[in-house]
């Protein structure tokens, strides 16, 4: 079982997630592997990551259970997403959609589903309604914390 990070501040799954995949290279590595580029040289070329930084990031993604390293030839390895890594897919789609709208003039890649451009949305799996921030109720579950911060 991988060791999960303990982060300072409010106990939060988002903070713990960002410790694991919050740097630029982690999500770009996941993107490349989702595109079928699993070898170090392909990932380095397509992300633009410095090779030493990429090697360190791949090692930490394997250690955290997001990637697995598989030998495809004697002393040659490629990387595959684990179940946890594959579940980054909706996050990447959302980042692409946000970037198309707010970070670039023209989308550098078109993502289609059954012939139409996708517009990712978050939907409640229980009631089927779109989740937009309205109607949410937040309940702190970490001992010693309220919505205002740590209990003192």
H-helix or E-strand spanning residue 100: helix 89-102
pLDDT tens digits along 64-100? 999 999 999 999 999 999 999 999 999 999 999 999 9
pLDDT tens digits along 100-117? 999 999 999 999 999 999
Tokens encoding 137: 């109720």
pTM, 2 dp: 0.88
Task: Evaluate whether 120 touches 94 at the Cβ level (below 8 Å).
Answer: yes
Q: Give the per-residue pLDDT at 152.
A: 80
Q: Give the per-residue pLDDT at 137.
A: 94
Cα separation, 146 vs 99, whole angstroms: 33
Task: Transcribe 123-147 into DSSP letters.
Answer: B-TTT-PBP-STT------STTEET
Range with top average pLDDT, 48-62, 106-120, 121-135: 48-62
């Amino acid at each position: 079982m991988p060791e999960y990070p303990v982060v300072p501040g409010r106990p939060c799954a988002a903070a713990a997630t960002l410790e694991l995949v919050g740097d630029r290279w982690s999500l770009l590595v996941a993107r490349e592997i989702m595109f079928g580029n699993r070898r170090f040289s392909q990932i380095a070329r397509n992300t633009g990551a410095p090779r030493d930084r990429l090697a360190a990031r791949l090692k930490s993604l394997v250690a955290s259970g997001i990637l697995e390293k598989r030998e495809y030839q004697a002393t040659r390895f490629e990387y595959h997403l684990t179940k946890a890594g594959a579940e980054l897919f909706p996050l990447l789609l959302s980042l692409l959609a946000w970037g198309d709208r707010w970070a670039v003039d023209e989308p550098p890649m078109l993502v289609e589903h059954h012939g139409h451009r996708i517009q990712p949305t978050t939907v409640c799996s229980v009631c089927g309604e779109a989740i937009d921030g309205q109607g949410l109720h937040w309940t702190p579950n970490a001992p010693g914390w309220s919505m205002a911060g740590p209990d003192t």
